[in-house]
Amino acid sequence: MIPDTPLAAVLLDLDGTLLDTAPDMARALNALLTEQQLAPLAFECIRPQVSNGANAVVRLGFPDADAARFEALRARFLDLYRARLVVDTRLFPGFEEVLAQLDAHRIPWGVITNKPRWLTEPLMQQLGLYQRAGCVLSGDSLPVRKPDPLPLLTAARQLQIEPARCLYLGDALRDMQAARAANMVALGAGFGYIGAHDDVKDWPVTAWIDEPLDLLAWVGLSRGASRRAPQART
């Protein structure tokens, strides 16, 4: 299923794909629950909701909150999360080598997330990723967001790569829908925040990968290739 001609660009979802942000988002939710004199939730319960954003995480902790209370809780959750944005957040294991190889071989990569810019950019800056990325599009960078394909098409245009020569890696149905609609290779991140109730058999994936290093083959690289001399890519 890997194409004979290597793909030319790598586009990535953020939460649950490039970065393991669940520990810090779970900490913010449990801090909020504690403020509201409620018991904290188990990390294993929170993790699958992180890719669905702040609304899903807060709703998990406060399923019965009405609209007005929910909005106040959501605002407080975001304040708590922003205050401790990068405590335990890390690249998923293997991505350090993946990004090093992409950089060494001049293969452009970028991030397309539904996370708002005011969280996305400082998060990537604190981890030293923002300046390395060829493009970063957040949930409020454009009038629409995933599953609409426009953010992915915009990223391809910014990288000056045809969409059909790009792969998009994500861990949610909307990621795969956006990638397919943009005529990109849609890779599912099997290591991401996929819950037991996600009916992944119906997702329009091109293929699943079990770990970040598996995506290297799709751009014509192998593990450890960054030790070889860089090659220009067109």
Beta pairing, strands 19-20 & 90-91: antiparallel
CB 125 within 8 A of CB 165: no
Best CA proximity match to 15, nearest among 102, 138, 103, 100: 138
As a whole number of angstroms, the distance between CA 178 and CA 114 comes to: 12
Chain centroid to Cα 48, Å, comes to: 13
Q: Which DSSP symbol is given to 19?
A: E
Query: Is 13 a residue of the active site?
Result: yes
CB 50 within 8 A of CB 21: yes
Give the DSSP per-residue string, 73-122: HHHHHHHHHHHTSSSS-EEPTTHHHHHHHHHHTT--EEEE-SS-HHHHHH
As a whole number of angstroms, the distance between CA 13 and CA 156 comes to: 14
Whole-number Cα distances in Å, 191 to 92, 94, 176, 211: 9, 11, 15, 6
- Among candidate residues 4, 13, 20, 103, the one labeled active-site is 13
For 115, the token pair is 């996370």
As a whole number of angstroms, the distance between CA 53 and CA 67 comes to: 17
List residues with catalytic annotation.
13
